[in-house]
Amino acid sequence: MRRMLSSEWLKLRKSSVWLLIFVSPLLATFVGYVEKSEGDYNPWFVTIAFMSFIHALLFLPLLTGVFSAFVCRYEHIGGGWKQLLAMPVSRASVYFAKFLLVLILLAGAQLLFLGGLLCIGWMKGYSVPIPWDEVIQSVLGGWFACFPLVALQMFVSVAWSSFAAPLAINVVFTIPNILVVNSAKYGPIYPWAQPFISMMGASDDKFGALNVSLETLLFVILGSFLLFLAAGFTYFMRKEI
């Protein structure tokens, strides 16, 4: 598995796609810095909320599709799957190496988000202590909520040779997030809304899908992740190359 990850990283390094992990945190940091909160709210929670609107609501779900499609791009060109699987490697190690690489890239984006949040607090001189428990919960929760999306996007990216098709699907289902997260009925079961809902868990504000319990979110996220992962992995193991 370590050698497969190294191989996938070498292929990724030849492109500039991995640099996309900087785009969303930088934009979120800019939004969080220019916002002006009013009232007696905890400034850290307010900043997380503003940053999550740009990062977790839109860009983070889109990045799952971009990275998943890209790690399968080389194998779809010129019979790459046949060449790769002709080597002494198992299909399981190939699939999970690509899956883990996407998760690592998303983890990098989340760490940059955390760095941006801390920079904002330092530049604005927040006098309130950093609520580390809630901040870490927000960052890890957003990353964990991406697992089902990555599993689904890996399934689609392996099945379709077109690089644009998985991205188009992801865009189509990400755009409704703005409306879905306001729904207490559909928000908790909509995979593309889970990163935002999980990251907003640190906020004092409650609306729409944010009223659901943590247990419900975990059940939905874990359940959909296992379902999508099993479907994608089973398809890849049976796929004729």
pLDDT digits (tens, 9 = 90+) for 20-41: 999 999 999 999 998 876 667 7
Other beta carbons within 10 Å of 129:
8
Residue among 240, 55, 72 nearest 154 (CA): 72
What gap in Å lies between CA 167 and CA 70, rounded to an integer? Answer: 10
CB contact at 8 A, 167 and 72: no
CA angle, residues 150, 153, 154, in degrees to nearest 5:
80
184 Cβ contact list (under 8 Å, min separation 6): 208, 209, 211, 212
Residue 202: the pLDDT is 53
Q: Is the pLDDT of residue 169 over 80?
A: yes
What gap in Å lies between CA 107 and CA 177, rounded to an integer? Answer: 21
CA angle, residues 202, 205, 175, in degrees to nearest 5:
85
Residue 117: the pLDDT is 95
| 154-158, 197-201, 213-217, 231-235: segment of lowest average pLDDT | 213-217
45: its two tokens: 């929670």
CB contact at 8 A, 166 and 3: no
Four-CA torsion 235, 140, 203, 32, nearest 10 degrees: -100
Q: Is the pLDDT of residue 160 over 90?
A: no
- The pLDDT tens digits for 64-83 are 999 998 888 888 887 778 88
What gap in Å lies between CA 132 and CA 113, rounded to an integer? Answer: 14
CB contact at 8 A, 47 and 135: no
Distance between alpha carbon 154 and the CA centroid of its chain, in Å? 13
Range of 14-28, 97-111, 178-192 with top mean pLDDT? 97-111
DSSP H or E stretch at residue 144: helix 132-144
Only one residue has tokens 């740009």, namely 54
Q: Is the pLDDT of residue 208 over 90?
A: no
Supply φ then ψ for residue 181, to 5 degrees: -65, -15
Average pLDDT on 196-217 reads 65
Give the global pTM.
0.91
- The pLDDT tens digits for 209-222 are 555 566 667 788 89
Average pLDDT on 103-126 reads 94
Q: Is the pLDDT of residue 207 over 50?
A: no
Residue 177: the pLDDT is 87
Output the average pLDDT for the chain.
Answer: 86
- The pLDDT tens digits for 181-194 are 888 778 888 889 88
65: its two tokens: 């599709």
What gap in Å lies between CA 81 and CA 72, rounded to an integer? Answer: 9
Only one residue has tokens 């080389």, namely 74
Residue 13: the pLDDT is 76
Q: Is the pLDDT of residue 60 over 50?
A: yes
